[in-house]
Amino acid sequence: MMLHPELLRAARPARRPLALATALLTAIAATHTAQAVLLALALAAVARGDTGPLPALLAAVGGAALLRALLTPWQRRTAVTAGASARTGLRDLLLTRLGGTGPVRATGERAGALRAVLVDGVEGADAYLSRYLPQLAVTCALPPLLLAAVAAVEPRAVAVLAPALVLALLAPRWWDKLLARRGQQHWGAYEALAADYLEALQGMAPLRAAGATGRTRARLAAHSDRLHRATVAKLRVSLVDTGITDLAVQGGTVAAVLVACWSAGSGSAAPAETYLLLMLASECFRPVRDLAREWHSGYLGISAADGIARLRTATGGPPDTGTRDRPWTTAPALRFDDVRFTHPGAAAPALHGVTFTAPAGRTTAIVGPSGAGKTTLLGLLLRHADPDGGRISADGEPLAAYTLAALRRGIAVVSQETYLFPASVAENLRLARPGADDAELRTAARAAGIHDEILALPDGYATAVGERGAALSGGQRQRIALARALLADAPVLVLDEATSAVGERAEAGIVRALAAAARGRTCLVVAHRLATVRHADRIVVLDGGRVDAVGDHRTLLAAGGLYARLAGAATVYAGEPAGRSAR
Ligand SMILES: Nc1ncnc2c1ncn2[C@@H]1O[C@H](COP(=O)(O)OP(=O)(O)OP(=O)(O)O)[C@@H](O)[C@H]1O
């Protein structure tokens, strides 16, 4: 009788089909009981030598079997519908929750473990809800009614059937805690192995380059062995559980047969009563046997339930309490006011009180040495986290006033880590705007400097890009991601090292084209190569989490501070004398 609040919560969206599936299962169980009673009456008629009622009784038996044959597929279909509805609701909820907590890393979960919960865990919850739960309801409801019927026929039989039923259903509950613990250990080992395999597959190239594939294989084998041991430990407890249930079912049935024989032998029961007793005794245990059959479905769901609960209640994102559910209609001015932030667990603040304005419809670049806080600042703008102090506002309205969905619709982001889905180039572009026509796709691709290269692909815009865009170069992937962001037509465009994989020569042209395409939008650009941002309307120089200077390229160079030093380093790095760049 394993009930888990997390799984019961997941059942809510599927309440109706689950109730129908349970009602149908009850009806199917009722046809078994009716068939048993009718067969007992038919056998009693044969024993009496009275064949008169036999045709009607046998026709009724056939009717019960036929009804069951009709109800069973209906029940299965309804249960599958209920499971699908619960599964979809649960995955939606978990994905929304994950989306709300920001990047996957923010939840502290490994991607492979998340995949295990979202795919296998939710499948386990489906099996629990659609198969185990209806059967559990029937098992709790039916045997007491059948015991009452047995009591009416032969009260003494209840004395053997009731303890057997109690033993079958309740004895295994004594080690529910152990079962739950073993289930969790098994699930934990499964999640860890899923995460290990995903990371090993994703990191195959660097592992091979570092000659570490052998060590990785050995580590995976060790974790696989851990999962095997957890499976055996779980199976051992599970087998004891089903063993006790089987023993109680067999023992109870045999005891009931003995009571029936004794009643018949002593002449205290008529043949009809004896047959009824034999049939009803067997029917008492049918739901218990059926529940044992669904036991593994239930156990899988229970094992995964804690993982689902952990994900559903994952914290790490800011509260989505804003009421403005539409993004800005025109490009807003973004104001950072004394923004302070320390990453969870970090020893020192990443931002110490950052103040500047990114003017509406203009391009503002954020530059600074590694670790200056540029990415942290963009993360706060996207509300992956909220500042510890100060505030960020758009057109004077705090970001928290907007719903997270509105905010994220209003801000298109291209970061260093681009993600392309295994679909065509056109489909990847249309993720940003499903209704975009071909001309719009081409305009965005031209602005991102990728149009000609797309045309040169085997099927042009219909070319499949492979998993994570494997069929394209890093620079091509980044420019497709840029085109996608332009297509989104959001009033705010954030580029975080968005052209880092593009060659330096091509980069300047792309950035110029981007600036033209994004005219009228508020752009925030982070780039290591200063040549990328020298045409920005405003440049904010960050250093150690503080604003060092704000200005345009010329005034910052003339001021001769950190920016000039960074520019010098950049031009030397690019093979140019520092003086040329300064002019
Ligand atoms: N998730 C994190 N947890 C703890 N500290 C972090 C985290 N992310 C960044 N930091 C720290 O915050 C500071 C600012 O990091 P941030 O990534 O914002 O700098 P950056 O200017 O973008 O650097 P880079 O140019 O190298 O990308 C650094 O000291 C960094 O170590």
Ligand 1 neighbourhood includes 368 CB (under 6 angstroms): yes
Q: Is the CB of 375 under 6 A from ligand 1?
A: yes
Whether 577 shows a pLDDT value over 70: the answer reads no
Q: Are residues 360 and 496 in the same domain?
A: yes
For the cut 90, the answer to whether the pLDDT of residue 522 exceeds it is yes
Torsion of CA 118, 121, 126, 131, to 10 degrees: 170
Give the pLDDT band (50/70/90) at residue 59: very high
For 348-375, write each residue's pLDDT tens digit. 999 999 999 999 999 999 999 888 999 9
Q: Rounded CA gap, 381 and 334, in Å?
A: 9
Residue 201 Cβ contacting ligand 1 at under 6 Å = no
Residue 416 has pLDDT above 80, yes or no: no
Q: Which atom of ligand 1 is nearest to the CA of 545?
A: 14
Angle at CA of residue 447, ends 520 and 483, nearest 5°: 90
Instruction: From the CA of 379, give the closest atom in ligand 1.
Output: 18
DSSP, collapsed to helix, strand or coil, labels residue 491 as coil
Query: 373 CB under 6 A from ligand 1?
Result: yes
What separation in Å is there between the alpha carbon of 493 and the centre of ligand 1?
21
* Residue 450 clears pLDDT 60, i.e. is over it: yes
Same domain, 225 and 308: yes
Across 9-23, 413-427, 481-495, least confident range = 413-427
Nearest-atom number in ligand 1 for the CA of 372 is: 21
Of 253, 280, 312, the one marking the end of a domain is: 312
Tell me if 328 is assigned to some domain.
Answer: no
Range among 309-313, 392-396, 431-435 rated most confident: 392-396
- Give the other-Cβ count within 10 Å of 263's Cβ: 19
Total number of domains in the chain = 2
> For residue 262, is pLDDT > 90?
no
Q: What is the DSSP string of 505-523?
A: HHHHHHHHHHHHHTTTSEE
Chain-centre distance of CA 430, in angstroms?
Answer: 24
**Nearest ligand 1 atom to alpha carbon 105:** 1
Question: For residues 26 and 17, what is the distance between their CA atoms, to the nearest angstrom?
Answer: 14
Which residue minimizes the CA distance to atom 28 of ligand 1? 371
Q: Residue 582's pLDDT is what?
A: 33
For residue 326, being part of any structural domain is answered with no
pLDDT tens figures, 137-161: 999 999 999 989 888 888 888 888 8
User: Are residues 116 and 307 in contact, defined by beta-carbon separation less than 8 angstroms?
Assistant: yes
How many residues are there in the chain? 583
- The per-residue pLDDT for 332 is 94
The last residue of one of the domains, among 279, 312, 345, is: 312
Q: Are 267 and 400 contained in the same domain?
A: no
Spatial separation of the C-alpha atoms in residues 285 and 253, rounded to whole Å: 8
**Does the pLDDT at position 64 exceed 90?**
yes
Name the residue at shortest CA distance from atom 2 of ligand 1.
343
> Which of 376, 380, 384, 524 maximizes ligand 1 atoms within 8 Å of its Cβ, making it the mutation to test the pocket?
376
Residue 10 placed within a domain: yes
Evaluate: CB of 372 within 6 angstroms of ligand 1. Answer: yes
What is the Cα–Cα distance from 189 to 228, expressed in whole angstroms? 9
Tokens of 100: 């709300």
Residue ranges in 518-552 assigned as alpha helix (H): 530-533
pLDDT band at 219 (very low <50, low <70, confident <90, very high): confident
Nearest CA to ligand 1 atom 26: 370
Tally of helices (H runs) and strands (E runs) in the chain: 22, 10
Residue 213 confidence (pLDDT): 81
Q: In sequence order, what are the residues at sequence separation of 6 or more whose Cβ sits closer than 8 angstroms to the Cβ of residue 338?
A: 353, 354, 355, 389, 390, 391
Which residue minimizes the CA distance to atom 1 of ligand 1? 343
Looking at the structure, tell me whether residues 296 and 369 fall in a common domain.
no
Q: Whose CA is nearest to atom 3 of ligand 1?
A: 343
Residue 468 sits in the same domain as residue 427: yes
- CATH number, position 535: 3.40.50.300
Residues 347 and 302 reside in one and the same domain: no
Residue 324 domain-assigned (yes or no): no
The long-range contacts involving 428-437, CB below 8 angstroms and separated by at least 24 positions, are 428/465, 428/469, 428/480, 428/484, 429/461, 429/480, 429/483, 429/484, 429/487, 430/487, 431/484, 432/484, 432/485, 432/487, 432/488, 433/487, 433/488, 433/489, 436/487
d(Cα 189, Cα 311) in Å, to the nearest integer?
Answer: 17
302 located within any domain: yes
Q: Are strands 492-496 and 411-414 parallel, antiparallel or unpaired?
A: parallel
Mean pLDDT lowest among 37-41, 233-237, 544-548: 233-237
Q: Are residues 139 and 12 in the same domain?
A: yes
Q: What is the mean pLDDT of residues 273-302?
A: 85
For residues 218 and 249, state if they share a domain. Answer: yes
Q: Which atom of ligand 1 is nearest to the CA of 376?
A: 18
The predicted structure's pLDDT at residue 583: 32
322 found inside a domain: no
pLDDT band, very low/low/confident/very high, at 130 (cuts 50, 70, 90): very high
Mean pLDDT of 411-417: 83
182 Cβ closer than 6 Å to some ligand 1 atom: no
Decide: 17 and 84 in contact? Cβ < 8 Å: no
CA angle at residue 32 from 28 to 38, to 5 degrees? 135
**Other C-beta atoms within 10 Å of 261: how many?**
14
Q: Which residue has the higher pLDDT, 425 or 241?
A: 425
> What's the domain range around 456?
334-582
pLDDT > 60? residue 574: no
Specify the ligand 1 atom closest to the Cα of 542. 21
Domain identity same for 308 and 343: no
Q: How many CA atoms lie within 13 A of 226 on its CB side?
A: 17
Q: pLDDT for 320-353, tens place per residue? A: 788 888 888 899 999 999 999 999 888 899 999 9
| One domain for residues 342 and 433 | yes
Q: Strands, E, within 434-579: which ranges?
A: 492-496, 522-526, 538-543, 546-551
User: Going by CA atoms, what residue is nearest to atom 16 of ligand 1?
Assistant: 373
Ligand 1 midpoint to CA 583 (Å): 32
Helix H or strand E segment including 338: strand 334-341
The reply to whether 29 falls in a domain is yes
Q: Output the pTM of the full model.
A: 0.68
Residue 362 and residue 280 in one domain = no
CA–centroid distance, 350 to ligand 1, in Å, is: 7
Considering the domain boundaries, does residue 205 fall inside one?
yes
Q: Is 343 in the pocket of ligand 1 (CB under 6 A)?
A: yes
Residues 381 and 303 in one domain: no
Mutate-to-test residue for ligand 1 from 340, 374, 381, 529, highest number of ligand atoms within 8 A of CB: 374
Question: Residue 558 is encoded by which pair of tokens?
Answer: 């003339």
Q: What's the first-to-final CA gap in the chain, in angstroms?
A: 79
CATH number of the structural domain spanning residue 81? 1.20.1560.10
pLDDT at 261: 86
d(CA 493, CA 489): 9
Distance in angstroms (rounded) separating the CA atoms of residues 244 and 164: 10
pLDDT for 74-122, tens place per residue?
A: 999 999 999 999 999 999 888 887 776 655 455 567 788 888 888 888 9
Work out the pLDDT band at 33, boundaries 50, 70, 90: very high
